Each structure stands twice: as structure tokens, then as C-alpha cells.
Amino acid sequence: MSSLRNRVQLIGRAGQDAEIIVFGTEKKRATFSIAINEFYYNDKGDKIENVQWHNVVVWGKLADVAEKYVIKGKEVAIEGKLVNRSYEDKDNKKRYITEIVVSELLF
């Protein structure tokens, strides 16, 4: 049961082609964003679209798969966990980000 505590499953469209960074000779990271479109009707009967964007990180052999198949606009299904981290931007200001670190990737 503990493996279900931090688990995310999403299906959406890639916001851009996977961006690849290689660390040394063996470690590869792919990053991209995924858009999840939701629709609902307001009290006037108008159809309203709400788009949620999520940052995605893929490591290792799955990054090879992402590099080949994650193309802007293509539907992708991901499973992974939420990770919160901080970093310093170019102005040395501390920023916080939430990412989905992927363990499974489907097209």
C-alpha cells in the first residue's frame, strides 16, 4: 500500500518536443510539459475550457524513449511521482517547482 502514497497518472498532450540533457557518458534526462484539457459548462450553459500544465522529468532509458517519441502536440500517458524542489534563478532568487518524475511512459 505504501507505493500508492505518491503516485500520479495523467494523459495529455506534449507542450513541446522532449528536451534532452546528457550528464557524463551514461545519465540522460528528458524534460517536457504536458497539457491536460478539461471542459465544463457554466451556469449560462457556455462551454468553458480549463488547461492544466505539468512539468515532466524522465531519466535513463525512459529518457531515450521520450527523446524519440515525445513530440509537441502528441498524446502521451505518464505515471510517476510528484517531486517538489527549489533552485536559484539567473537573478539568484530562490524558486520552487513541482515536477512529475516519470516511471512509466505510454504513447
For residue 76, pLDDT beyond 80: yes
Domain coordinates in residue numbering, the chain: 2-106
Q: What is the mean pLDDT of residues 30-54?
A: 97
Please list the helix, strand and coil fractions of the chain in percent, rounded to the nearest 5, in that order. 10, 65, 25
Secondary structure (3-state) at 94: strand
pLDDT tens per residue across span 80-102: 999 999 999 999 999 999 999 99
pLDDT of the residue at 26 = 81
> What kind of fold does domain 2-106 have according to CATH?
OB fold (Dihydrolipoamide Acetyltransferase, E2P) (2.40.50)
Provide the whole-model pTM: 0.87
pLDDT of the residue at 24 = 87
Say if CB 10 and CB 77 are below 8 A apart.
yes
